[in-house]
Amino acid sequence: MRLRLLLLLALCGAGIRAAARSLSLRGSWRIRSGNGSLELPGEVPGCVHSALFQRNLIQDPYYRFNDLNYRWISLDNWTYSKEFKIPFDISKWQKVNLIFEGVDTVAKVLLNNVSIGKTNNMFKRYEQCSFSWDWGPAFPTQGIWKDVRIEAYNICYLNYFTFSPLYDNRAQEWNLEIGSSFDVVSSKPVSGQVIVEIPKLQTQQTYSIELQPGKRIVELFVKINKNITVETWWPHGHGNQTGYNMTILFKLDKDLKLQKSAKVYFRTVELIEEPIEGSPGLSFYFKINGFPIFLKGSNWIPADSFQDRVNSELLRLLLQSVVDANMNTLRVWGGGIYEQDEFYELCDDLGIMVWQDFMFACALYPTDRDFMDSVRAEVAYQVRRLKSHPSIITWSGNNENEAALMMNWYHIDFSHMGTYIKDYVKLYVKNIRKVVLAEDKTRPFITSSPTNGAESIAEGWLSANPYNTKFGDIHFYDYISDCWDWTIFPKARFASEYGYQSWPSFSTLEKVSTKEDWFYKSRFSLHRQHHENGNDQMLLQAGLHFKLPQSTDPLRAFKDTIYLTQVMQAQCVKTETEFYRRSRSEIVNGEGHTMGALYWQLNDIWQAPSWASLEYGGKWKMLHYFARHFFAPLLPVGFENQSVFFIYGVSDLRSDCNVTLTVRVHTWHSLEPLCSRATKHLVMKAGEAVLLYQERVPELLRRCGNCTRQSCVVSFSLSTDSKLLSSANYHFLSSLKEAVGLQKAHITAIISQQEDTFVFDLETSAVAPFVWLDVGNVPGRFSDNGFLMTEKTRTIFFYPWKPTSMSELEQSFRVTSLTDIY
């Protein structure tokens, strides 16, 4: 790709523009193909694909097989050009820079046809998932994907400004480290004062500085007023996300004033790896502000192959869906991109903790000097840009590269293994880790994920078994074993990846397909599945417990299969997540004390089968509704072990609470519970998982009128003074394909409106498993979905994301339950 412009990358973000002039070069550019056969206008920021689509020269790149049809775009060379005039006299300015915030990726830069530079790093780093993954398409984009502008200044210029709150345990006070980078173009030293002010903390401090010509760093240490109580930032569900407005003013010679404003948050984070009684390993959990917190959430991938489509509205919708599902953490996965500033700002505001990978994933990387220099610049830039965000709680060097090397995914000849191990340590430890620790002293650094943490370090930074459940974090996938059997899951310290696939809803697929694509083994369905044997694995897992769709109508069978894959995914991830949550307070055979569950993956990058719980565009799959329950702060979890039924109570609350556990047994053929038992008051300990109830299954069935496993289902909930504290959970006593007495459920709905919310009053003729309410492409979410309906009536709310009419909702509404496909 060619850019007809001077390129000088700013070290970190936009500078302060006082005593400077700025000219934005965003907007319309000219784009030309390599042989000149195509020439068209294109927007910057943007990419070639988007420009072609906006001019109707190509279809939606996601439509049908266009990821194959449009490979020619990525294989061609493209030139971006722009003619412009600078609206001020550049001779009056000591320095004029042309700044590109992001170029994708390999480019030659020309000014007036004179070559002045080259680029080869878009973060700096290649965006790996552009070349496809097992959940996404291959769209290697080209373009100017971030801001571009001209900056002119005299005397000096503030390149970047960053800060880190620090807590002094000995003095029991907060301090603030501020770092500012200047480009001093004056031939003489520049003197002046710096005034730092945080009004709500009654903190104002003044410093004298002198800047010598050249590139200069100013470091300030601000003591926060000890007489004022500092409110700390807490993750979602644990407290408020309090921040304080701060201004920093540089009053320099010749009446030069540079001012910067920011919001500063105060919080501490620790990664605790220490011996555990009853286990030969080490713990692996995070403390925020000294408080141990179970990390609940998912893994984030880029929200679109084309970053110019990722706007504020989409980011807020996706991240609001995170907290609406009771999550508190996202892992920004190392095969995607470092997200835009607004992503992290939203995480700060919403209380979403971020496990931030550096962009290295599932590959062996070079360690030549040029590459290492590029990586150092990338890491330094990203850490400086992001470290002031309280939401980021840890840096991680890469995704799965320790495991890939030590488990020999790439079939390396043993005689060469020493070289690859040496290169790994050189890149991630002696290079990336060194830069991170120099730039940021406020959060931990993990070399890889998964890793054995301190144990990996003790073994020379790579552990012989990176999946050791007694150390660090694990990634776990098993699509063949029965996911209803909790014994297949690793009782690990921290599960940072796990999951199962499903298909997105038909209304999502319909936009990018045609009628001939609408069956499970169509060419489209096979092409859209990028995980080897993925479609078969979904049916295999579903078939273990459900009857597969038998309709002779291809479209009906396709829709039923889509629905069943979502049921299967939701139930599988529910079972696994509940296992991790109930394992937080116990050690069994040296394993346990699980303190994190981040399933793979949160969001989709296009309309296709994947592990996501949010479809492309943000629609909730059944899994996301389930997540809202299995990540609830107070959760009863039921499971069997050797024909004994156990119920654990799991609490993320900060204080103990008294609860009553109610256990009900229902038959499949009746809407009235067969029997019910309530416990006496039980104490749910804060931040623990404890056994609340156990009973042998044969005794439970006899006590409830000679139920059988096939004819009955168990539900249970927590309450206090007759007020529900948790939604009802359930336990299936047999596979639903063996259920006896399950009848076709006729479910009707009366829809009404209360201001901006719609009310669905449901009535069913029979017990209905996995009731799914769908309103097609109407954007919004329900208060609950995919539920087991054991009562005759139930009220559900729909919260639209955009203005929606009653008629639109009524026309789009459909309801499905498992009995509809039997």
- Where in the sequence numbering do the catalytic residues fall? 400, 497
Element (H, E) at 372: helix 369-386
DSSP one-letter code for 584: T
DSSP one-letter code for 762: E
| Residues sharing a CB contact under 8 Å with residue 553, sequence separation 6 or more, in sequence order | none
| Cα–Cα distance measured from residue 150 to residue 687, given in angstroms and rounded to the nearest whole number | 53
Side chain identity, residue 655:
S
Element (H, E) at 137: strand 136-138
Residue 156 near residue 192, CB atoms below 8 Å: no
Contacts by 458-465, CB closer than 8 A, 24 or more apart = 460/421, 460/425, 461/402, 461/424, 461/425, 461/428, 461/429, 462/402, 462/405, 462/406, 462/421, 462/424, 462/425, 463/402, 463/406, 464/406, 465/406
Q: What are phi and psi of 467, to 5 degrees?
A: -100, 20
For the chain, the distance separating the N- and C-terminal CA atoms, rounded to the nearest angstrom, is: 56
Q: Residue 459 burial by CB count (10 A; 0-12/13-18/19+): exposed, middle or buried? A: middle
Radius of gyration of the chain, Cα coordinates, nearest whole angstrom: 29
Residue 475 near residue 449, CB atoms below 8 Å: yes
Residue 478 near residue 490, CB atoms below 8 Å: no
Residue 63 near residue 139, CB atoms below 8 Å: no
| Cα–Cα distance measured from residue 62 to residue 137, given in angstroms and rounded to the nearest whole number | 8
- Nearest Cα neighbor of 775 from 817, 752, 804 is 804
b/e burial code for range 520-547 (CB count within 10 A of at least 16 → b): bebebbeebbbbeebbebbbebbebbbb
| Cα–Cα distance measured from residue 793 to residue 29, given in angstroms and rounded to the nearest whole number | 59
Q: What are phi and psi of 144, to 5 degrees?
A: -100, 95
The first and second tokens of residue 697, run together, are 């299954």
b/e burial code for range 589-599 (CB count within 10 A of at least 16 → b): eebbbbbbbbb
| Cα–Cα distance measured from residue 125 to residue 337, given in angstroms and rounded to the nearest whole number | 8
Q: What are phi and psi of 138, to 5 degrees?
A: -100, 105
Where would I find the beta strands (DSSP E) of 323-436? 329-332, 353-357, 392-396
Residue 312 near residue 596, CB atoms below 8 Å: no
Q: Where are the alpha helices (DSSP H) in 631-718?
A: 697-703
For residue 815, list its beta bridge partners: 773
With tokens 């409830």, the residue in question is: 704
Q: Where are the alpha helices (DSSP H) in 529-591?
A: 534-543, 554-582
| Cα–Cα distance measured from residue 736 to residue 405, given in angstroms and rounded to the nearest whole number | 42
With tokens 């417990």, the residue in question is: 545
| Cα–Cα distance measured from residue 497 to residue 155, given in angstroms and rounded to the nearest whole number | 51
- Nearest Cα neighbor of 318 from 338, 335, 339 is 339
Q: Where are the alpha helices (DSSP H) in 656-733?
A: 697-703
Side chain identity, residue 606:
W
